[in-house]
Chains A and B, each alone.
Chain A
């Protein structure tokens, strides 16, 4: 690639590195995998730089490459890793059942975890890939419907549905997590008596 094209690529594409990395991290949930995904995305973008149409959205173009790279190369690996993690989790749950249960969260911990960034990230992780990518692109990256539709290769109506359902799922997961973290309310004396203990 000639020096002018290289300079143009560095000036136009590379400023979006943080956005690419943020989305990659939220998709892969793994820092090393996110770095690899971004590297592959940038190298592919550079190789196909002559195909980028000036005047169109560079962000949509880069995110399209990132999404395709993720779907083709990383998705399977990530799924396999998650399966392993699920097995590990299952194994540790068996340990819990055998009397090695960890201490329940303190009320402070439960409150602190209510709507922290960590909780939102964890909730995002529970959303299916298509919904997650739609909300990330719209709400974190600020892409317009048209751009999201281009990245996800779907009609705008589907973008709307994915956003609606993605946000809905996010809220439900957060509520469930908060409810699980809440210490159960002490039973009132009156209720206790009604159960026939008094």
Chain B
């Protein structure tokens, strides 16, 4: 009896239906897929038919040529690289598991609330837009005014204060310009928590910083060896989040009209983290 070649499949269909009957007859013989009895019957048939014999000879000779090809060995360097890649996958998995295990704590639950749901980014984007607009309105030669930006009161950005940079500062990272800094309300970190950047293509991106509280939103992805969490808010605007020393960083487009470019966000993240 033949081995799985002429029987029916699990649905009761003939897996060789539509196959040329001649091919169906000789091919399993050539490839040793028939049992001894059936193979003997086909061999006798072939021996009695010179045309059939030519067909079989052609197939067998092609198969022999292929079988005689020298074996190809994978380069040793590839083996070594693969093991390193597997290590990287393991580390990535561990990191993601760790991210997911961390529970929200104390007052920093606020950040988690900040990330939760699609409402999160609407006020943030609104605040960013306002900040952007006010910043743009001030003439470059004027003394930098204090800028107050207000967002919805149910979010952390209630009294966002931003201050345009007054003198050419050192760039925050290669290929990135600093546009403005600001503080999130009700925090006393003493550090800027709202930073607006401009990349070399003039793309404005806002970075929000807060102490980590719980898992970061988005899907974990590795980019240039580091873990980022990629996602979109309910309105389809892209964001990229990452953890750096217990501080959550969220990068998002500064303008509400900009739906966000993940590559640009990741590139900025990489530049900031490579400082």
| A-to-B contact residues, CB < 8 Å | 1, 6, 9-10, 14, 17-18, 20-22, 25, 35, 38-39, 42-43, 46-47, 115, 117, 120-121, 124, 135-136, 138-140, 144-146, 149, 155-158, 160-161, 163-164, 167-168, 170-171, 174
Contacts and interface: CB of A to CB of B under 8 A. Distances in A.
Select the residue from A9, A14, A145 with max chain B CB neighbours within 10 A: A145
Given A155-B17, A156-B4, A138 B75 contact: no
Nearest to A42: B82
Contact of B82 (A6, A14, A120, A155): A14
Given A1-B89, A163-B27, A170 B66 contact: yes
Interface stretch (B18-26, B153-161, B212-220): B18-26
A161 B23 contact: yes
6 contacts: A42-B86, A43-B89, A145-B3, A146-B3, A164-B59, A167-B59
A126 B99 CA distance: 50
A170 B78 contact: no
Interface of B: 3-5, 9, 14-20, 23-24, 27-28, 31, 33, 58-59, 61-63, 65-75, 78-79, 81-82, 85-86, 89-90, 93
Given A120-B66, A139-B66, A171-B62, 19 more contacts: A6-B86, A9-B86, A17-B74, A18-B74, A21-B75, A35-B81, A39-B82, A42-B82, A135-B66, A138-B63, A144-B3, A145-B5, A146-B3, A146-B4, A155-B16, A157-B15, A160-B23, A164-B20, A171-B61
B24 A157 contact: yes
B90 A6 contact: yes
A120 B33 contact: no
B71 A22 contact: yes
B28 A145 contact: yes
A22 B72 contact: yes
Contacts of A167: 58-59, 62-63
Contacts of B79: 14, 17
B237 to A, nearest CB: 28
A136 B63 CA distance: 10
A139 to B, nearest CB: 4
